[in-house]
Structures are given as C-alpha cells and as structure tokens.
Amino acid sequence: MSDEGRTPELPVPPSAGDNPSPGSSEFRWQSFFQRSRDPLFLLDRRRRLLFVNRAWEDLTGVPADQARGLTCTRRAPTMPGPWDAVTRALAPPAEVFEGKPARARRLIAGPGSGRPARRTTMAQETAGMAAPPGERPWEPGCRSWDIDFFPLVDEHGLLGILGRVSPVEPAPVWGDLSLTAALLALHQQAQKEKAKAGSDEQLWEPDVLVALRQRMAQRHRLDQLGSDLPALRQIADQVRLVSQVLVPVLIVGEPGTGKEWLARTIHHHGVAAERPFAVLDCAHLPPEALAAVLFGEGRAPQPHFGTLYLREPAFLPRDLQARLCDRLTTGEGQAQAGPRLIAGSSADLAEHVRAGRLVEELSCMLSTVVLRLPPLRERRADLPWLVERMLERAAAEGRRITVLAPEAWELVRAYSWPGNLRELYEVLAGACARATGERIEAADLPFYLRRAIHLEQTPGPEPAGALPLDRLLAEAERRLIQLALERTGGHKARAADLLAIPRPRLFRRMKALGLAAGDESADETEVQIEPEE
C-alpha cells in the first residue's frame, strides 16, 4: 500500500525525557493508556511503534524509549536486533489495514526478553521448582500471546493501529511439565506430608528415579545401532530426521529385530524426550485398557505421554482403529503437545489391510515414515560387535564374560538365528550363566543350536537302491518330535502345540515310533505357592 499523499499521520510522541505538557490532548491520552493494566501499544500505518505503556514494558522487557520507532513486521529483518521476536509478534494482520479489527495468537520466546526459544536443562528444572508461584522456568521458553488489533480510522483512511496484548497462561496441568519436573514436584509434596506427619522416616531420593530414566536414555543411543550396512546407515539418517518432528513412524521387521529398541531411540532423540515413553501391546491388551491409554478414558487420568509405541496396531479392535483414525485426522494426536505415535509391525501393514484386519486409512496414517529393520541373518558382519554388546548387557547382573571360544564362534556364525537379536541375547545370557570358565565354550550354548548346526552340516546316508519312503517319513517324524520335545524342555503338551497336533495324537505317534510317551496326565502342572523367603 502506498502511503504517499496520505494525511494526516498520528502525532509522533515526544522522545524520552521530552514529556508532553500537562493539559495537552497528547498528555491526556497517554495518561489514560499508562494507567491501563493491559499491555497496550500504538503503531502508525507504516507499522512503526509510536507508543507503549508501562504494562507493555513489564510484559516484554523492552524499555519504551528503545521500543519507539521499531517496525513490527513478520518479515525477517535485514539487520537482526535484540527485540525481533517481540516486533514480529506485534505485526498486524492484513485485514487491519482494511479497517477491520483482528485478533491473532502469536508464539513468542520466554517472558521479558525476546530471546530465542530453547529447551530447559535438568538443572534449570530443579531450580525452577523453587521459583515463585506463577513463574515456570522449567517450561520450554516459548509462550503465546493473544493480540487484539484495533484500526484507528478517520475520513482519510487508516491513521494507525492500537494493540492490546493478553498473555496466554498455560493450563496448570501436569502435562505441561517434563517427567523430571513432575517427579521433583512429587518429592516436594512428600516432604510436606512428612513434615505434617512429624515423621522421621527416610524419604525416597528423586535423583535416583531421574537417574533410572537417564540410564534408559543412555541405552538407546543411535550409535548403538552401529553398522556399516547401507540399510542401517539409512535408518540412522532417517531417525535423525524424524526424531525432530512428531510425525507417525512405522517400524517393520521380523520378530526380535529390535523394533521396540528403535522406537525408544527415536523417542530419546526427539522433541518429546522429556515426557514418558509407553509401549501398548495392541494384540494382547483388553479393548477398554487400550482405550484408556489411547483416548484418556477411564477413572484415572493418564500421564501426558511423549511417545506411544503401538505394538502390532493391526490387532487393535476395529472401533478403536476408527477412533484413532479420527484423532489423527483432526490432528489431535499429533499436535505439538500430543504424543508421537510409533507403530511396530512384523509384517507390512498393507498385508494386514488385505487380510481385512486393519483399516486402510489408519495404515496410511501410521506409515508416514517407514523404517525397515533387517533380520540378523542379513547382518552377519555385525555379529562380533553385537555379541560384544550383548555380553556386556548380560554381564550387568552376573559374571563378566567377554570372549567366545573359537568353536562357540563357529556355531554362532553358522546358525541362522530365526529369532534374531532377541534369540541372540537369550542364548548369550544363558551361556554366560552356564559358563564355568573365563569364556563361553561351545558346550555352554544351548543344545538345540548345536543340534541345528549338526543337522545342517551332516549329510544324510545315501539311500541304497529304492527309496524306503515309509521308513524315511517315520524317521523324519521321529526327528521332528524329538526336536519339539527338546525345544519345550520335554513338555509334551507344549510340544504338541509346537507341532500343531492334538496331544493324544502326539502320544500315539510317540508310542508307535518307540519314543517313551509316559503318562499323559503327568504334564499337568499344579499351582505351586511358595512361602516368602
């Protein structure tokens, strides 16, 4: 808009130390505005600040003499100044220049300074708990202002703009605090209860609880993904990107490939790290328990989660899937303060959609970013590093063993690891417990693993002449039953489950094949109740 030839302008107030004379019209309106408790400001039609009152100075921390003449525009300034955040927030919307009043909500850095928004540290949070009521130094620096803009118009057009700032008070709920701050607040409450009760009992230490969270974060660092495989390097790059925005992430990988570990890693790297992480087992929890966490239903208030990891979301009941879709569509679940959703699935969600288990819309929404974890058999080059890490983890509770004997290594390298990282950890933790020496020997590894290698490597005897099919089938059946019994520690009912046959049939086949079937009822295990140690 051209301002040339437009008259009159609002009178420019006197500069600092040059007060208007008592009785003048300027003196009267300035006194009126100064007495107001609302932070007020006056702009000319070129968006320059002409006047601010004391309440405005108190709110923004910008002295009146420095505020005068500043231009309030959303455009980035050519010369950055100390009050840029404030002047950007005060920029009037376009409709005000058409003579219409307007209201705008503006995000601004922490109170009083115009300094850039930043995350608070734990030390600041701790200090913040002792801060006077009303101040919340543990919050991230950003806060909001609602600003009313009133155009001042005469017969010639726009003269200027009067503005009023209303700070938006954050709702005083726990969700606005980080988990650390909430624990410190709980400790303060416990101290008060202790003082009131006149108790001399020892109180729990909040630092210890905070340290448990930090230990959890330490175990979920991106460098622990550690591999030179292109697939894993790509995942690391993607995690660095997605951790900074609250978009839904889908992690696909075979069972045991570390989907939950990766979800936690994204959480601890991300913007929601100060809030809690929760795993929700969609396939096994009852619907009302799932709804309580997903939608805050139920008698008890749910915590303000930072990240919700949905394990196998395809098994969510259909009505909850539809409600989750609605929530994601309205943006409620992914708002700045809402939890980030990460889904973990052992199969592509598209397969679940085809099978009619998963609503297609939800599948699309959860698949904004897809990360695929390779199975362990495709990352054998990582085995030395992974074994080292898992031995460290297993040693946390027991004896420290860091080496595998060459024969044990041979078995670990040759095995196909269908259970992936989970199986590798279980095998190594068990071997650590069994090992009697300073290293893990082949004999310390589970029998099924040694046998699997043996079966893979030992060629069967060459059949002479005609193939005795019945005998071969019986032999194969015998071996399968033996293998199932070994896998289940001799538990026949479980072995029958594993072989997907009824238990009576297993007993009949064992008898027919000359395997000792024993008493069928011997498998029933009684409930045992042990006395307190």
Partner 1 sequence: MRHPRLLVCRDEVGIGERLRDLARQRKWFFRSRRRPAACLRLLRRGCPTVLVLGVGGRLIGRALEDEFRLLERVAWLLPDTMMIVVLGREDPALAALAWDLGARYVLTTAQARDWLPDIVVGLMKAAMSCSMSGD
Nearer to partner 1, 148 or 426 (CB): 426
Nearer to partner 1, 153 or 186 (CB): 186
Nearer to partner 1, 9 or 288 (CB): 288
Exposure string of 141-179, with b = 16+ CB inside 10 Å and e = fewer, is bebebebebbbeeeeeebbbbbbbbeeeeeeeeeebbbb
Nearer to partner 1, 18 or 397 (CB): 397
* Least spacing, CB of residue 171 vs partner 1, in Å: 14
Residues 240-279, one symbol each (x = binds partner 1 by CB under 8 A, - = not), give: ---------------xx-xxx--------------xxxxx
Site for partner 1 in 63-122 (CB under 8 A): none
* Least spacing, CB of residue 110 vs partner 1, in Å: 24
Q: Which residue among 54, 323, 327, 422 contacts partner 1 (CB under 8 A)?
A: 422
Distance CA 65, CA 17 (A): 9
Cα 264 to chain centroid, rounded: 7
Q: Which residues contact 384 (CB under 8 A, 6 or more apart)?
A: none
| Pairing status of strand 143-154 against strand 102-108 | antiparallel
Task: Confirm or reject binding of residue 423 to partner 1 (CB under 8 A).
Answer: yes
Task: Confirm or reject binding of residue 433 to partner 1 (CB under 8 A).
Answer: yes
* Least spacing, CB of residue 187 vs partner 1, in Å: 9
Nearer to partner 1, 300 or 469 (CB): 300
Distance CA 232, CA 222 (A): 11
Lateral strand order in the sheet of 340-345: 277-281, 307-311, 340-345, 249-252, 369-372
* Least spacing, CB of residue 3 vs partner 1, in Å: 55
Nearer to partner 1, 33 or 315 (CB): 315
Largest CA distance in the chain: 125
Q: Which residue among 154, 462, 470, 530 contacts partner 1 (CB under 8 A)?
A: 530
Site for partner 1 in 490-509 (CB under 8 A): 491, 494, 497-498
Nearer to partner 1, 41 or 277 (CB): 277
Q: Which residue among 58, 169, 228, 281 contacts partner 1 (CB under 8 A)?
A: 281
Cα 292 to chain centroid, rounded: 18
CB-based contact 118:157 (threshold 8 Å) = no
* Least spacing, CB of residue 215 vs partner 1, in Å: 7
Task: Confirm or reject binding of residue 292 to partner 1 (CB under 8 A).
Answer: yes
Site for partner 1 in 171-230 (CB under 8 A): 174, 179, 182-183, 185-186, 189-190, 193-194, 197, 199, 201-205, 208-209, 212-213, 215-216, 219
Question: DSSP 3-state assignment of 473?
Answer: helix
Beta-bridge partner residues of 153: 158
Nearer to partner 1, 284 or 318 (CB): 284
* Least spacing, CB of residue 510 vs partner 1, in Å: 18
Rg of the chain taking only CA atoms, in angstroms: 34
* Least spacing, CB of residue 462 vs partner 1, in Å: 36
* Least spacing, CB of residue 189 vs partner 1, in Å: 7
Distance CA 350, CA 330 (A): 23
**Window of 102-110, 150-158, 455-463, 484-492 that interacts with partner 1 by CB under 8 A:** 484-492
CB-based contact 334:248 (threshold 8 Å) = yes
Task: Confirm or reject binding of residue 286 to partner 1 (CB under 8 A).
Answer: yes
Site for partner 1 in 357-416 (CB under 8 A): 393-394, 396-397
Site for partner 1 in 119-178 (CB under 8 A): 174
State how far the alpha carbon of 267 is from the alpha carbons of 183, 223, 240, 306, in Å: 19, 15, 11, 8
Secondary structure E strands in 255-298: 277-281
Q: Which residue among 14, 63, 77, 301 contacts partner 1 (CB under 8 A)?
A: 301
CB-based contact 184:207 (threshold 8 Å) = no
DSSP notation for 186-228: HHHHHHHHHHHHT--PPPPPHHHHHHHHHHHHHTS-GGGG---
Q: Is the peptide bond before 8 cis (omega within 30 degrees of 0)?
A: yes
Q: Which residues contact 520 (CB under 8 A, 6 or more apart)?
A: 492, 503, 504, 507
Nearer to partner 1, 102 or 185 (CB): 185
Q: Which residue among 51, 60, 420, 428 contacts partner 1 (CB under 8 A)?
A: 420
Nearer to partner 1, 458 or 525 (CB): 525
Tokens of 399: 């004896």
Exposure string of 363-400, with b = 16+ CB inside 10 Å and e = fewer, is bebbbebebebbbbeebeebeeebbebbbeebeeeeee
* Least spacing, CB of residue 412 vs partner 1, in Å: 18
Output the 3-class SS for 159-185.
EEEEEEEEEECCCCCHHHCCHHHHHHH
* Least spacing, CB of residue 175 vs partner 1, in Å: 8
Q: Which residue among 283, 335, 381, 476 contacts partner 1 (CB under 8 A)?
A: 283
Residues 20-59, one symbol each (x = binds partner 1 by CB under 8 A, - = not), give: ----------------------------------------
Nearer to partner 1, 276 or 313 (CB): 276
Site for partner 1 in 304-343 (CB under 8 A): 304-305, 311
